[in-house]
Structure 1
Amino acid sequence: MKRRLLVMVCFVVHFILLCETNVSNSYALLYDGGLKVTASYTLYNTGSILSCAAICYGKPGCWLFTWDAVSKECQLLDFLNAVVITESAPSTLRTYYANSVRGKKIVRTPSQSSWTGNNNTCANMGGRLFLPEDNTYCYILNHIVGVNHVHIGLWRYPSDVTVWYNMDGQTTFPSLNWGSGQPNNCLGSQYYGSCHNGKAGDVPPNSITYGICDI
């Protein structure tokens, strides 16, 4: 009985440590006080930054949270519907964003290239171009990278202007919306996708910018 109890305790401790590792490895510091993203937030009184991160981790569509080192208040970003702007914040307020999705690290390519070039770079890093789940994350990625459009894992066949695919060959993206008038294939050869000011847009093969990889 004691041995069984010890095994159960060890299992629980291992599970807790594993969960804590997953949570702590899923977020990166965006602002270490002084600034915050201007948006609507939901307030939680959690006490610890790990608890705050765990709440965000367990909430679908939570890509950013703030935690105050003095008040211990936790605020989860509700959504974004415009290009990120910032406002002043207490020096004790830290802002974190999700840099891991479904167990994959989300990283920017080291240099700017075409969509195909960026996808090859992602492959060399052990991954592929990443497709954000919604527009809020698109806005955050544009803000973090610091450019108004970045290549993402969205493409179509040149012969079919109506059907777009993710990197798994799937054709439905229920929470990622196209920008106004997009996709428009205005150059006649816009086969690839980007996050353009927070919305999906189509770009031609010679579009040069950074890519977002999941690795």
Structure 2
Amino acid sequence: MVGHGIAFEKLYQRLFEGQSLTVTGDAYQYKNLSKVRCGSACSMYPGCVSWAWEPSSWACNVFYFLTPTKTRTPALASTQTFGFIDGHFFENFPSPVSMTWAAAKSACQSRGATLVVPAHDEQAKLLMQWVGYDYAWVGIWRQPSGLTWFDVFDNVMGSLYWASGEPEDPFEWGSYRVPSRGLVTTPTTARTYLPLCKVLP
């Protein structure tokens, strides 16, 4: 799993500290905190940019400063790390895998999160920079050749920031691709995309 910076053109390397995993930089460290309490600790600190929680040890690290690095380090798959952007926590999945939109939705739900739609293109760019990949599933869908788009809770979506030439018929599932600079429609076949998940503390 690789940690990525929120600032443009920077990477942030994660480190092992005991059995828990952190990010390089300065952090407040807590023991015996649940994931919810760890996220709450970040939300209550104005300078928090990331937080990591290790379920096996209940160790929580709330980061208020990150140091840029040039390398990437493999990490424990069990560690759950989140970026704090525009009032939401976005979970960083460990690596892109081939999956359908429905599988991406289930992957988010299995972690207590939901497949998310970033509020605007600039937010999406920050999130994609955080996960360190150019392709991601997002939480929008429609009926075959339908005109109305829904979120994962079946709520009707308003105006969406589509890439040029989108939405393309008859594709039903939503993704975000950095090269396209906007939301893109995708067939329901498996794609090597990350699920872009949101979890609230």
Bin the TM-score by the shorter chain.
0.5 to 0.7
Distance 1:212 1:171 in 2: 19
SS of the residue 1:208 aligns to: strand
- Residue pair 1:129, 1:167 contacting (<8 A) in 2 also: yes
User: 1 CA distance for matches of 2:124 and 2:42?
Assistant: 26
Q: TM-score, normalised by structure 2?
A: 0.54
CA distance in 2, matches of 1:213, 1:169: 17
TM-score normalised by structure 1 residue count:
0.51
Contact preservation (8 Å) 1:182, 1:200:
yes
Deviation digits for residues 46-95 of structure 1 (CA, Å, limit 9, x no counterpart): xxxxxxxxxxxxxxxxxxxxxxxxxxxxxxxxxxxxxxxxxxxxxxxxxx
Corresponding position of 2:93: 109
Provide Cα deviations, 1:99-148, integer angstroms capped at 9, x if missing partner.
2565x531133442221111111111112201111111111122222322
CA distance in 2, matches of 1:144, 1:192: 23
2:149 and 2:141 mapped to 1: Cα distance? 6
Amino acid at match of 1:165: F
Secondary structure of residue in 1 paired with 2:165:
coil
Q: Does 1:27 align with 2:10?
A: no
Of Structure 1 and Structure 2, the greater helix share is in 1
Corresponding position of 2:84 = 99
- Residue aligning to 2:185: 202
* Residue number among 129, 148, 164 corresponding to 1:163 in the alignment: 148
What is the match of residue 109 of structure 2?
Answer: 123
Point out where structure 1 has 5 or more consecutive residues left out of the alignment.
Answer: 1-17, 36-96
Q: Matched residues in 1 for 2:67 and 2:43: separation?
A: 21
- Which one has a bigger Cα radius of gyration? 1
CA distance in 2, matches of 1:213, 1:144: 12
Tell me what 1:184 maps to.
Answer: 168
Correspondence for 2:7? none
- CA gap of 1:159–1:179, structure 2 versus 1, over 3 A, is closer
